[in-house]
């Protein structure tokens, strides 16, 4: 079965689907000796797919590793151009392909999932799936409740409005404030940018939870394999839940039908007395309209007041047919001739 190259690379543990697209664009992937492009498909049983000259295989065992990234370490597999800092891949002395699921700033620290399961990494990190991440953030200054309320509702940044977050105050004094922030979004340096916008820069940022994983007692720079139960819980969360909308929140429909309004509980009025239901009010108004005397026709009433009593027609008599006089039409003068000129006599 022919599949997209991005999916084949993620299954083989080479890279995630996003990173696989970069490998294809850089020309590092070939299919049957030809340079691959985005959109190509292949079958490993028939085609020869190679990455950097090495043939692709899907027999590598799955690895799931939790790492406590220290501050100053770059969340990448290989360092970028002119990059001298250490990467998270350098901290794990294991053979084979391993790459981080998601990203964490070099100035931040905390939990990073390292794996060669590209499909699971896609499910956990893509924005449309909105998997929760928990951070412990220490900001400078005593942040007020008003600023926390603005932060929790969303802050406008240069790349758009942020999604709502959950904020819990762990401690707060005159110099610093320690917060626990739960969010489903993962823009670049999002927490630091929001804190700077509100006027309270971040002093320290630690990721403590990612999806179903918890950092626990793992020290900075240490790593361990996930247990079978942790992997099972992680896959259950990744594959059982459906996609959620990114920017829109579904709200229940309004109760507009009379039957639903009649069944809904009555709300108390301002004075404290219970308000009548709308169905009762509408029934009472209908009875009041039926009890009112019928009004005569307004046009007939105006006509009768205009005529004297002697000229009023009886009920069964036919009304006389009268014609309104035709208005006299004035013929416009002919062009090129004076208005008083006589017409020439007709020829016999």
Residue whose structure tokens are 């959620």: 244
| Residues 278/282/285/290 CA torsion (nearest 10 deg) | -170
- Radius of gyration for the chain, computed over Cα atoms and rounded to the nearest angstrom: 40
Q: Is 59 exposed, middle or buried (0-12, 13-18, 19+ CB in 10 A)?
A: exposed
Do the bridges between strand 3-4 and strand 41-42 make them parallel or antiparallel, or are there none, so unpaired? antiparallel
Distance, in Å, from the CA atom of 72 to the CA atom of 106, rounded to the nearest integer, reads: 5
Residue 101 in contact with residue 116, Cβ under 8 Å? no
**Contacts of 50 by beta carbon, 8 Å cutoff, 6+ apart:** 29, 30, 56
Residue 115 in contact with residue 65, Cβ under 8 Å? yes
User: Which residue from 52, 43, 53 is spatially nearest to 11, judged by alpha carbons?
Assistant: 43
Residue whose structure tokens are 């006027």: 199
What's the distance, Cα to Cα, between the start and end of the chain in Å? 105
Residue 169 in contact with residue 179, Cβ under 8 Å? yes
- One DSSP character per residue, 288-309 reads HHHHSPPPPPHHHHHHHHHS-G
Distance, in Å, from the CA atom of 76 to the CA atom of 104, rounded to the nearest integer, reads: 9
Residue 52 catalytic? no
Please give the angle made by the CA atoms of 340, 343 and 346, to the nearest 5 degrees: 170
User: Which residue from 163, 154, 158, 172 is spatially nearest to 132, judged by alpha carbons?
Assistant: 163
Q: Which of 52, 105, 117, 158 is catalytic?
A: 105
Q: What is the set of active-site residues?
A: 105
């Amino acid at each position: 079965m022919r599949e997209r190259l991005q999916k084949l690379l993620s299954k083989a543990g080479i890279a995630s689907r996003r990173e696989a697209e970069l490998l294809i664009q850089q020309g590092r992937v070939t299919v049957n000796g030809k340079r691959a492009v985005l959109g190509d498909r292949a079958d490993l049983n028939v085609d020869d797919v190679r990455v950097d000259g090495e043939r692709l295989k899907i027999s590598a065992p799955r690895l799931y590793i939790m790492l406590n990234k220290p501050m100053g370490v770059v969340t990448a597999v290989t360092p970028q151009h002119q990059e001298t800092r250490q990467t998270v891949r350098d901290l794990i002395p294991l053979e084979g392909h391993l790459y981080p699921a998601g990203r964490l700033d070099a100035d931040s620290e905390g939990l990073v999932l390292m794996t060669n399961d590209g499909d699971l990494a896609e499910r956990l990190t893509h924005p449309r799936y909105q998997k929760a991440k928990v951070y412990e953030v220490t900001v400078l200054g005593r942040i007020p409740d008003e600023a926390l309320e603005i932060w929790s509702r969303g802050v406008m940044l240069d790349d758009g409005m942020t999604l709502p977050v959950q904020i819990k105050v762990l401690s707060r004094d005159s110099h610093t404030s320690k917060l626990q922030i739960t969010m489903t979004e993962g823009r670049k340096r999002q927490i630091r940018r929001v804190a700077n916008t509100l006027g309270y820069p971040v002093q320290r940022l630690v990721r403590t939870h990612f999806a179903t994983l918890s950092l626990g007692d793992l020290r900075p720079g240490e790593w361990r394999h996930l247990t079978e139960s942790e992997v099972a819980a992680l896959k259950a969360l990744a594959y059982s839940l459906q996609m959620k909308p990114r920017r829109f929140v579904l709200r229940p429909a309004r109760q507009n039908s009379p039957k639903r309004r009649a069944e809904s509980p009555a709300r108390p009025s301002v004075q404290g007395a219970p308000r009548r239901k709308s169905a009762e009010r509408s029934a009472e108004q209908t009875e009041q309209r039926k009890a009112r005397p019928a009004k005569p026709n307004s046009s007939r009433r105006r006509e009768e007041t205009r005529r004297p009593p002697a000229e009023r027609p009886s009920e069964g008599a036919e009304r006389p047919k009268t014609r309104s006089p035709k208005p006299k039409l004035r013929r416009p003068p002919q062009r090129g001739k004076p208005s008083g000129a006589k017409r020439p006599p007709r020829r016999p």
